[in-house]
Structure 1
Amino acid sequence: MHRSFIHALHRRLTTGVLLLVLSTLLSGCGTNLLSYYFDDLFQSGDAIERTPEQLAWDGVQAMQEKDYDEALDAFQKLKERYPYSKYAILAELKVGDAYFHKKKYADAALAYEEFIRLHPRNEVVPYVLYQLGMCHFLSFKSTDRDMEETRLAMDAFQRLIQAFPTSEYAPKAEKQIYECRKRLAEHEFQVGRLYYRMEKYKAAQLRLTRLLMEHPQAVKDLGYEEEIQAILADCRACLNRGDDGKSLWTKLGF
């Protein structure tokens, strides 16, 4: 019995000395090799579960280091594991930000919309609305395609201005609304000019007249005024002489 006790004590001391030596040798390396090789001796399964505070800290640190994948992972874990934590609302916001910085604008927009739905009176909602608008604004492809994303961007910016007119984000939203108007004006001009070239004079006239009424400043700043007036004058002349508005190809029998 006594000899068994001494043998067990000797084994523990030997193990302790070995671990102490290994700790001294390995802990100075750039990566914690002791932890890498021997963590499984002291704990089972995954690493000890991170607390809400630790996950929040991990996510914020990763965002500062522009490691958005790591940030997204931390904030999503925080949302899923601790939905009632005081840090959960931070995670809900930062999931949107992480997606935004990854240029995954559709995912970011969903996250921002969810935040607004869950926390409509939170003080950061003006920022979230602005970010939502930018998600749609940056999803824009080209003026010859559907302008739905630009319209959704305008809607978000207008919601921001109407609900929070004194917010620091309201002036930024106004600038972005003007950029949206320029996009819409460019699109409408291209469509109206296309109708004109196809000899669809009535359609061209309606499109370009509406453009002048809805986006006069954008038309002026884009330098379209002179060409639009010339097209409208020719449309009127063609319609006055009874042109049926059929395209050249239709008249040729195609």
Structure 2
Amino acid sequence: MSHSPERLHRLLSPGIRALAAASGMSILCGCSLLSNKQEVHVPKMASAEALYNYGVDALHSQRYTLASGEFELLQQNYPYSGYTANAELMEGYAYYLQGEYALSVQQIDRYLELHPTSPDAAYAFYLRALCYYEQIADVQRDQQGTSEAMDALEEVVTRFPQTAYARDAQLKIDLCRDHLAGKEMLVGRYYQGQHSYEAALTRYQRVVQDYQTTNHVAEALHRIVEVDLALGLKAEAQRAAAVLGYNYPASEWYRYTYDDLRDNKLVQSRDVRPKSRPEGLITRMWHFIF
């Protein structure tokens, strides 16, 4: 889920926003060759303030490669300027906007190492987490990136719990968890299709136990019933069906499960919900006696 440059820019501290707002200068003639081989047209003796303004101006006009070059040039030529720390962070932001996530993370890590107590540290951690979040792969592929994104987002929530960054990070954590649960379901269905029932059951149980708040739990419970029936574990199938019926009575997976139990002559009526509330959370419901 991408974030617009305008939205991310508004999340910067008032100090950096004020510096950015002061930019009204045009990019002048001249040239300089940076380490990333991008030609940057600036005066040979441009000041730190001018370089910073050129970078911000380039961001505003969506010339992100040029912007990162301006901020890098400022750091190289004015390492002790009052603009340097801001340029370090803005270079990471420019890399993010280019989709150069590895470069962005590298630059942000450098910024945080040099300025751990900066008033913009929360934004830096958040931007770093977004770099991982933007790289989350489809559930058909390896989900290491999703785990890395979750770790980075959770760090934002832990370090800066009362900020807007934490609130947005929590929403993205929930999406990451749903993504990981979806991967478990994909693998579980594959194993089930191959009649590797024990392996499939492990995947489905992991969804129920570790990803209780995701929208995959109802299907996972239904699949557990299917696997239990395939293994001849009728009592276990009834217990899983009771959990499903209690928690998701309106779900289509509940209807499918009832049909499976009826076909196996395990229910006599339409009501397969438990007679009393199961104890605790779903992770403890396996002990419920149907």
Same fold by TM (over 0.5)? yes
**2:175 equivalent among 174, 179, 203:** 179
Cα distance in 2 for partners of 1:212, 1:191 equals 15
For residues 115-158 of structure 1, give each alpha carbon's deviation from its aligned partner in whole angstroms, at most 9, with x where no partner exists: 22221111111111111111111112211111111111111111
1:148 maps to which residue? 144
5 Å matches for 1:1-254?
Answer: 47-218=43-214, 221-222=215-216, 225=218, 227-240=219-232
How far 1:240 moved relative to its partner? 4.3
Query: Secondary structure, in 3 states, of the residue corresponding to 1:216?
Result: coil
Query: Secondary structure, in 3 states, of the residue corresponding to 1:169?
Result: helix
Rg larger for: 1
Cα distance in 1 for partners of 2:138, 2:154 equals 22
Cα distance in 2 for partners of 1:57, 1:108 equals 20
Give the letter for the 2:230 counterpart: C
The percentage of aligned residue pairs carrying the same residue is 29
Query: Secondary structure, in 3 states, of the residue corresponding to 1:142?
Result: coil
Length, aligned pairs only: 196
Cα distance in 2 for partners of 1:104, 1:184 equals 24
Normalising by the residue count of structure 1, what TM-score does the alignment of the two structures yield?
0.72
1:7 maps to which residue? none
Give the letter for the 1:186 counterpart: G
Contact 2:208 2:221 in 1 (8 A): no
> Structure 1: any 5+ residue segments left out of the alignment?
1-30, 37-45, 242-254
Cα distance in 1 for partners of 2:153, 2:97 equals 19
Normalising by the residue count of structure 2, what TM-score does the alignment of the two structures yield?
0.63
How far 1:236 moved relative to its partner? 2.1
> Structure 2: any 5+ residue segments left out of the alignment?
1-26, 31-41, 234-290
Cα distance in 1 for partners of 2:44, 2:136 equals 44
Give the letter for the 2:229 counterpart: A
